[in-house]
Amino acid sequence: MTTGSWWRTALLGAVAVAFLGSATATRASEPRIITISAKRFEFSPGEVRLKKGETVTIRIASADVTHGLYMKALGIDAEIEPGKTTEVTFTPKAAGRFTAICDHFCGPGHANMHMDFVVE
């Protein structure tokens, strides 16, 4: 191996290590994904447990009509259109039970469509 090719190989190796290291670090800090489904007039699951300070992404899909998911204190304010997946990322700052509601009218029974986030 010539001196020039040795340096090229070493440089490529260093770049590859740096890239892989970075990707690993990104994966480690990615928020936990929580999947929620919405249909008239319920969310499933009806209760999700979270840790205070832990960033999470909720991934929501509607099985029928447009719904909303609203919980001001957690910063959740989403419209969930059928055929699309909606994502909301947030970090709960305080412990407690937070009730999120469907705030997009979805028919008679809409007023009782809600779910709880329990932050520990």
Partner 1 sequence: MAKPIDRRGFLRIAGASLGFGALYHVAPALASSGPAREVAMELARRNGESVTPFTFVQLSDTHVGFSGPPNPTGTRAFEQAVAIVNRLPQAPDLILFTGDLTHDSDDRTERVRRMRRFQEIAGGLRMPIRKTIPGEHDASIDGGLLYREIFGESSYSFDHRGVHFVALDNVSRPRPEVGAGGIDRLRNDLERYSTTTPIVVFTHRPLFDLKPEWEWFTRDGDEVMNVLSPYENVTVLYGHIHREHVHEEGHSRHLAARSLVFAFPDPGTTREKKPLPFDAEHPFHNLGLRVVHAAPGAPPSSVSLGVQDVELTLREHSGTEGFQQLLRPTSL
Minimum CB distance to partner 1 smaller for 11 or for 95: 95
Give Dmax over CA atoms of the chain in angstroms: 78
Amino acid at site 46? G
Q: Does 83 bind partner 1 (CB under 8 A)?
A: no
HEC letters along 44-75: ECCEEEECCCCCEEEEEEECCCCEEEEEHHHC
Among 68, 85, 92, 93, binds partner 1 (CB under 8 A): 68
Q: Does 27 bind partner 1 (CB under 8 A)?
A: no
**CB 85 to partner 1: min, Å:** 20
Q: Does 70 bind partner 1 (CB under 8 A)?
A: yes
Answer yes or no: are the C-beta atoms of 105 and 41 closer than 8 Å: no
| Residues at the contact surface with partner 1, assessed by CB under 8 A | 66, 68, 70-72, 97, 99-101, 103-105, 107-108, 110-112, 114
